[in-house]
């Protein structure tokens, strides 16, 4: 593994407070691999053998039932995924595929669990990470149940804008069909939701979004840290 990658992982909140011997042991047991785009990394139902760390690229977490699919999250560098299944030693509830060519570190779940018992700083960080993951899922569920399609899109756009530092213009980071699935609607409905948002201060041109009237969008969306996964909501 490259020194730079090792440091990126080391700096994640999950690993930041580990003792060096424990971190080294964990990294030593890990595999660093590059996967092409559109590769299925994990299939829901399989037992969780590895904690995954995305170093480069992007990974989609999705789920399916019968012939229906839905996107649950997109994981971008540098971040871990499926910690809960690893800690429980249980089957994955979601599948994962690369969206782009991605560099991913695989840490054996058994070593993660061992580190939890050996290193208190890591145990603390694990609980913080799981708790925040839990809370973000509560927000996602609240969002799905309390807002309609147009409001969910508006809230997403508002949040993106805030995360980018409160800028008015930005580029969508993923395909619209993926965004639609994540927000719990069809691509057609997403298209129409974008059109409906023109009356609420949002201009769209291809992948480029411009918030022409932040006050109007904010009034529609009523952003709220209890609903929106927010780094930056005033």
Partner DNA sequence: CAAAAATCTTGATATTTGTCAATCAATGAT
Partner DNA sequence: ATCATTGATTGACAAATATCAAGATTTTTG
Cβ 224 to DNA, closest distance in Å? Answer: 18
CA distance 161 to 169: 7
Instruction: List helix spans (H) across 37-165.
Output: 83-88, 109-118, 120-146, 149-163
CA distance 74 to 85: 17
Please, are residues 100 and 57 in contact by the beta-carbon 8 Å criterion?
yes
Please, are residues 14 and 80 in contact by the beta-carbon 8 Å criterion?
yes
CA distance 147 to 190: 14
Residue located via tokens 């639609």: 180
Residue 132 main-chain phi, psi, to 5 deg: -70, -35
Decide: is 70 part of the binding site for DNA (CB under 7 A): no
Decide: is 192 part of the binding site for DNA (CB under 7 A): yes
Cβ 141 to DNA, closest distance in Å? Answer: 14
Decide: is 204 part of the binding site for DNA (CB under 7 A): yes
Q: Which of 151, 144, 163 is nearest to 229 (CA)?
A: 163
* Nearest CB to a second copy, comparing residues 34 and 127: 127
Interacting residues with DNA between 105 and 164 (CB under 7 A): 148-150
Cβ 38 to DNA, closest distance in Å? Answer: 9
Task: List, edge to edge, every strand of the sheet that includes 68-75.
Answer: 40-42, 95-98, 59-65, 68-75
Decide: is 208 part of the binding site for DNA (CB under 7 A): no
Cβ 66 to DNA, closest distance in Å? Answer: 11
Decide: is 185 part of the binding site for DNA (CB under 7 A): yes
Decide: is 188 part of the binding site for DNA (CB under 7 A): yes
CA distance 104 to 21: 22
Classify the phi-psi angles of 93: left when phi > 0, otherwise alpha if psi is within -120 to 50, otherwise beta.
alpha
192 binds, among DNA, a second copy, none (CB under 5 to 8 A by kind): DNA
* Nearest CB to DNA, comparing residues 13 and 169: 169
Decide: is 198 part of the binding site for DNA (CB under 7 A): no
Interacting residues with a second copy between 87 and 126 (CB under 8 A): 87-88, 90-91, 93-94, 116-117, 120, 123-124, 126
Interacting residues with a second copy between 172 and 211 (CB under 8 A): 184
DSSP string, 12-66: SHHHHTS-HHHHHHHHHT-EEEEE-TT-EEE-TTSB--EEEEEEES-EEEEEEET
31 binds, among a second copy, DNA, none (CB under 5 to 8 A by kind): none
Q: Which of 51, 105, 190, 211 binds DNA (CB under 7 A)?
A: 190
* Sites of contact with DNA (CB under 7 A): 148-150, 175-177, 184-195, 204, 206
* Sites of contact with a second copy (CB under 8 A): 44-45, 63-66, 68, 70, 72, 83-85, 87-88, 90-91, 93-94, 116-117, 120, 123-124, 126-128, 130-135, 137-142, 144-147, 184, 222, 224-227
């Amino acid at each position: 593994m490259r020194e730079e990658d090792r440091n990126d992982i080391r700096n994640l909140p999950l690993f930041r407070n580990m003792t060096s011997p424990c971190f080294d042991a964990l990294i030593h047991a890990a595999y660093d691999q590059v996967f092409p785009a559109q590769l299925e990394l994990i299939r829901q139902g399989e037992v969780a053998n590895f904690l995954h760390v995305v170093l480069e690229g992007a990974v989609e977490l999705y789920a399916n039932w019968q012939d229906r699919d839905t996107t649950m999250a997109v994981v971008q560098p540098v971040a871990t995924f499926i910690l809960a299944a690893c800690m429980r030693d249980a089957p994955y509830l979601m599948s994962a595929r690369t969206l782009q060519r991605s560099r991913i570190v695989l840490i054996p779940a058994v070593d993660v669990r061992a580190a939890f018992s050996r290193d208190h700083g890591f145990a603390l960080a694990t609980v913080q990470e799981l708790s925040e993951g839990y809370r973000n899922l509560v927000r996602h569920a609240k969002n799905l149940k309390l807002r309609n399609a147009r409001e969910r899109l508006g809230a997403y756009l508002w949040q993106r804008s805030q995360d980018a530092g409160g800028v008015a213009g930005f580029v969508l980071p993923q395909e619209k069909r993926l965004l639609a699935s994540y927000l719990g609607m069809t691509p057609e409905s997403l298209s129409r939701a974008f059109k409906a948002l023109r009356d609420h201060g949002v201009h769209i041109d291809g992948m480029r979004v411009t918030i022409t009237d932040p006050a109007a969008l904010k009034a529609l969306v009523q952003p709220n840290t209890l609903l929106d996964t927010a780094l930056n909501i005033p």
